Amino acid sequence: MKQEDKSLPLTALSLKGNQNLDRPQILFGVGSLCALLRAKRMPWLETLSLASCRIFAGSVTELGEVMATGVLRRLQHLDLSGNFLDENSAIALVGGVRASVVPSLSKVTFWDELPSLPWGEGAEVLLSGLLKGVDELPKNLEISNMY
């Protein structure tokens, strides 16, 4: 008997501005999104926007770890602007944006304004990690500070 395909036919998912995504009592938060991604329920996803959702380091780390498993191979644009990174989440994101796991990725947006980085040293770690792993990045990857 053939297993029923339970994937969702989504190519774009925008949760932009939903500032409740990082609260444990929320039914559909970052943890739920990551569970759906791990279960390969969104294999067609090309655009994922979690901009200005007030997501903190733990959730960004979880997303980076999920991306590193290769479940978002069709992802072209990831927008995490307006959220909070720290060193650990920055390292997890570096692992999640390698060409071997997201070969179609062409644009990543991490912040809105460079002068007022709310997440301190995470930016340095992220950019340093991206530069060190430049051979592993998708070709023509644009790292942006504006959507």
Q: What is the pLDDT of residue 124?
A: 60
- How does strand 142-144 pair with strand 107-109? parallel
Compute the distance between CA of residue 29 and CA of residue 50 in angstroms, rounded to an integer: 11
Q: What is the pLDDT of residue 145?
A: 60
Q: What is the pLDDT of residue 66?
A: 93
Q: What is the pLDDT of residue 96?
A: 84
How far is C-alpha 11 from the chain's CA centre?
15
The parts of the chain modelled with pLDDT lower than 70 are 1-4, 24-27, 87, 111-135, 137, 144-147
Q: What is the pLDDT of residue 147?
A: 39
Q: What is the pLDDT of residue 25?
A: 61
Q: What is the pLDDT of residue 43?
A: 94
Q: What is the pLDDT of residue 94?
A: 78
Cα→Cα distances 76→8, 101, 107, 145, Å:
17, 12, 6, 16
Structural tokens at position 46: 């090309």
List of E strands, 15-141: 47-49, 77-79, 107-109
- Bridge partners for 47 per DSSP: 12, 77
Q: Element (H or E) spanning 12, and its range?
A: strand 12-14
Report the Cα–Cα distance between both ends of the chain, in Å, rounded.
Answer: 45
Stated pTM of the model: 0.80
